[in-house]
Amino acid sequence: KRFSEAIIYLDKILEQEPDNLKALTNKAGLLAQLGNFSKSIMLSNKVLEIDPDRVSALTNKAIALKMLKKYEESHQVFQQTILCMKFMF
């Protein structure tokens, strides 16, 4: 539950590697946990520009949209997540 501390470490990684998809996705998830849903969506979108089928980024985005009561958008992103997962197996 040391989300703020984890974000500090992720920021250090992102200073060196600004397009590190794992760090960006993890930071987006942590920001959602902290209630910063808009920033979480922004980072998730950055990841999805590079890797549109990244399930973790899609999930982060869908959850953040849900928390912002953007239910239709959230539903669409969850549907996209499910489609991506179907092709993984």
The residues near 6 (Cβ < 8 Å, ≥ 6 apart) are: 26, 30
Kindly report, residue by residue over 11-41, the tens digit of the pLDDT: 999 999 999 999 999 999 999 999 999 999 9
pTM surpassing 0.85? yes
Handedness of CA 13, 16, 18, 20 (dihedral sign): negative
Beta strands (DSSP E) in the chain are: none
DSSP one-letter code for 34: T
The pLDDT assigned to 85 comes to 85
